[in-house]
Amino acid sequence: MEQDKSVGVLELHNIFFTIRKQSKEIHLLENINLQVPTGHFMAIVGPSGCGKSTLLKLIAGINQETAGSIHWNGRNLSEEGDLEHSEIGYVPQFSIAYESLTVEENIENAVRLRAKTASRSEFEKLVDDTLLATGLDEIRDRMVKVLSGGQRRRLSLALELVTDPVLLLCDEVTSGLDPKSEQEIVSLMHELSRNEHRLVINVTHSLANLDLYDSVLVLSEGKVAYHGPPRAIEHYFSVENAEEIYSQLSKRGAAEWSASWEKHKSAYYDTIPAAPHGDPNISVSAITPNATIQFFTLFLRRWKIFFRDRGQMALQFAILMIFPILVIIFELDGVEQTHRLSETRPETLAEIEQERENFTFNLNLGGVVSGLVMFQVILLTLMGSNNSAREIAGERNIFEKEKFAGVRPLAYILSKAAFLSVLVLIQSIWMAVFVQSICQIPSENFAFHLLLLLCVNGAMTAVCLGISSLAKTADQASLLSIYLVGFQLPLSGAILALPNWAGWVTRPFISAYWSWAGIMDGTESDYLRYIREVTDTWLAPMWLCFVVLLVHIASGLFISYLGSKRPRWDA
C-alpha cells in the first residue's frame, strides 16, 4: 500500500514479542509487518490467544517488543521514545471511570489531569464538545454506576478524546455488548477516525460490522494471516461470509497462512482506501498539565468520592466513635484510682504495712497505664490499616490508565498522603482527647503524647499505603495489612517480653512499640517507676521514638511512590 509522504503513517517492521516459559522461548508475535495511515480505521481480529491485545500493547508502548521496530511518521519509537502522553489514547478492556462520579465529573477530571486549558470557557467548551462527540450530552449528570454497557464504552472513549490523540487504540471495547450497542460503538469509532490526523485501531473478537473498517488485520497464532479491505476478506479466505473465518483458520497452520499472505499481500494492499491528505507534523494534541494541577485535581476528586461513598463514611464514623469508647470500657476501673499513688516515706510499722499495700497497688496501676496506652496505640494502628490498605490497590487499574495518560506518580501519591493525613489527624486527636478527658493518663506533656499517637497512626497508614501500592489486589492488600497490625501487640513487648535477641531484631519494624515506649517515657516520674517495674521491655527515649516513627512514615511513602511507578496492568 503506497502512501503519500504528506500523510502520517504507523509502520511495524519485523516485530517479535517473545516470553520464556519453563526455560522455553514462546513467540506470542512473530515477524509482524504492517503499514497503516492516519485518517484510517483498522480492526485487529483473530481467535482467542492469537496476540491481538499483545500487539495493541506493543503499539501503545505498554510492552516492549523483543525484536523489530515501530515507526510513527518516520520516527523510530523503539529508539527515539514513545509518543507524548497526550498524543496517544488507549481504551483498555476494563472500566476507567469512577462509579460514584457522574459522566460529566469524570470527563471534567480527565480534562484537568490531561489537557491544559487557557481559560474556564475553554475548559467548559472542551468538556461540552467531548460529551457531544460521543453522544453523552443527554446523560452528563448520570452516575457511572447506573450506565449501560454501551454508555460505559462511550465514556471510556470520551475520556481519551479530551487530549485529541493522533493514535487511538481500543481493546475489546465492544465485548459483551448487544448487537445494537456494538454497532453504535463501532460507528462512533469510525466517525472518530475520519479526523485526518488520527488513526483508530480496534481489537475485537467480533466479526460483525467489518464493513465499517477501512482495513482488517487477521492474526493466527501471533502471525499475520491477512491485512486488507473488509470487502475482500471472504474472497481471500474462500468463505461465504466473514463469520466463517475462524473455522477456516483452524484448517491450516499459522505458518502456512502467514506464507500465503506474504505471497499475495501486494494485491490486497493496493485496494486499501487512501488516507486524506494532511500535514502529519502539525501537533494537534493537548499539553499535559503540571504536577501541581494534577495534585489538586486528584486530592479534590478523592474527597468527592469519599463523601459519595456512604458505606465508607459510616465505617469511618463508627470506628472514630467506638474505638475510644472501647479503650475506656476495658480500662476505666483501673485508671479511676490513679490519684491514690503514694510516694510518702514510711516511718511507723503501720506506715510500712500501708506502703506494702500501696506498692502492690501501684504496680497494678503501672500495668493498667501501660495497657491503656498500648490499647490506644493498637487501635490507632488498626485505624491506619483501614485508612489505606485498599487505597491504591482498589483503584489500580484506573490509576495505571491515568498514569499512561500522563498523571505523575508523585502527584498521585502526594494527593493520597494529603487525603489520608486529614483522616489520621481527626482520628488521633479524637482518640487522645476523648480518652485523656476521662482516663487522665499521667503524661508529663500531653502534646508529646498526642504527637506520638499521630505518628503511630501516620506510620501504619503510610506503611499500609506502601503495601497497597505493591499488592496485586485490594483483598490481598487488606489481608497483609491486617496481619501487620496483628503482629504489633505480641512483637511490641509491652504485654509479653520478648527474648533480647528477638526484641532487637523485630523492634525496629514495630510502630506500636515506638509509640507506646515514647508515651511511657513521657509519663510522670512517679508512674514511670512502677511502669518499669512491671515490664522487662526496654523503654526507648521519647526523642528516639519520634525519629523511628518518622522514618516509618517516610519509608511507607517512599515504598508507595516506588510501587505506584511500577507498571501493574494485570492488577
| Contact predicate 492/370, CB 8 Å | no
Is residue 191 included in any domain, yes or no?
Answer: no
Q: What is the pLDDT of residue 532?
A: 64
Is residue 483 included in any domain, yes or no?
Answer: yes
Domain C-terminal end among 233, 249, 276 = 276
Contacts of 435 (CB under 8 A, 6+ apart): 324, 327, 328, 372, 376, 441
CA distances from 402 to 145, 163, 234, 304, 560 (A): 19, 13, 40, 18, 17
Would the pLDDT of 188 be above 50? yes
State the Cα–Cα distance between residues 567 and 129, nearest whole angstrom.
Answer: 32
Is residue 229 included in any domain, yes or no?
Answer: yes
Choose among 200, 264, 253: nearest CA to 226.
Answer: 264
Q: What is the pLDDT of residue 522?
A: 85
Is the same domain home to 22 and 60?
Answer: yes
State the Cα–Cα distance between residues 206 and 524, nearest whole angstrom.
Answer: 75
Domain C-terminal end among 227, 252, 276 = 276
Evaluate the CA torsion angle 414, 415, 420, 425 in order and state its sign: positive
Q: Which three cell numbers stand for residue 363?
A: 504496680
Q: Cβ of 491: how many Cβ atoms within 10 Å? A: 19
Is residue 285 included in any domain, yes or no?
Answer: no
Contacts of 369 (CB under 8 A, 6+ apart): 334, 335, 338, 441, 442, 523, 527, 531
Is the same domain home to 75 and 99?
Answer: no
Q: Which three cell numbers stand for residue 403?
A: 498514569
Helical H runs in 244-348?
Answer: 245-249, 254-269, 291-308, 310-335
Is residue 432 included in any domain, yes or no?
Answer: yes
What does residue 227 show for φ and ψ, rounded to 5 degrees?
A: -150, 105
Is residue 511 included in any domain, yes or no?
Answer: yes
Among 37-41, 127-131, 407-411, 437-441, which stretch is predicted with the lowest mean pLDDT? 437-441
The arithmetic mean of pLDDT across residues 466-485, rounded, is 94
- For 115-138, the DSSP string reads ---SSHHHHHHHHHHHHHHTT-GG
Amino acid at 406: G
| Contact predicate 520/372, CB 8 Å | no
pLDDT digits (tens, 9 = 90+) for 521-567: 888 776 666 666 666 677 889 999 999 999 999 999 999 999 999 98
The CATH number given to whatever domain includes residue 155 is 3.40.50.300
H or E, element range at 224: strand 223-228
Q: What is the pLDDT of residue 270?
A: 67
Q: Which three cell numbers stand for residue 30?
A: 512473530
Would the pLDDT of 571 be above 80? no
The arithmetic mean of pLDDT across residues 61-85, rounded, is 87
- Cα angle: 36, vertex 41, 47; to 5 degrees: 90
Q: How far is CA 192 from the centre of its chain?
A: 29
Percent pLDDT > 70 in the chain is 86
Among 249-258, 264-273, 548-557, which stretch is predicted with the lowest mean pLDDT? 264-273
Ramachandran region of residue 493, left (φ > 0), alpha (ψ -120 to 50) or beta?
A: left
Query: 3-state DSSP call for residue 244?
Result: helix
Q: Which three cell numbers stand for residue 470?
A: 505493591
Would the pLDDT of 333 be above 70? no
Where does the pLDDT of residue 272 fall: very low under 50, low under 70, confident under 90, or very high at 90 and above?
Answer: low
**Number of folded domains that form the chain:** 3
Would the pLDDT of 361 be above 70? no
373 against 293, higher pLDDT: 293
- For 72-87, the DSSP string reads ETTEEHHHH-PPPGGG
Is the same domain home to 394 and 508?
Answer: yes
Buried b (16+ CB within 10 A) or exposed e, 16-42: bbeeeeeeeeebbbbbbebbbbbbbbb
Is residue 284 included in any domain, yes or no?
Answer: no
Is the same domain home to 352 and 471?
Answer: yes
Is the same domain home to 299 and 420?
Answer: yes
The arithmetic mean of pLDDT across residues 136-162, rounded, is 94
Among 78-87, 306-315, 339-348, which stretch is predicted with the lowest mean pLDDT? 339-348
Residue ranges making up the domain that contains 45: 1-83+166-180+197-276
341 against 196, higher pLDDT: 196
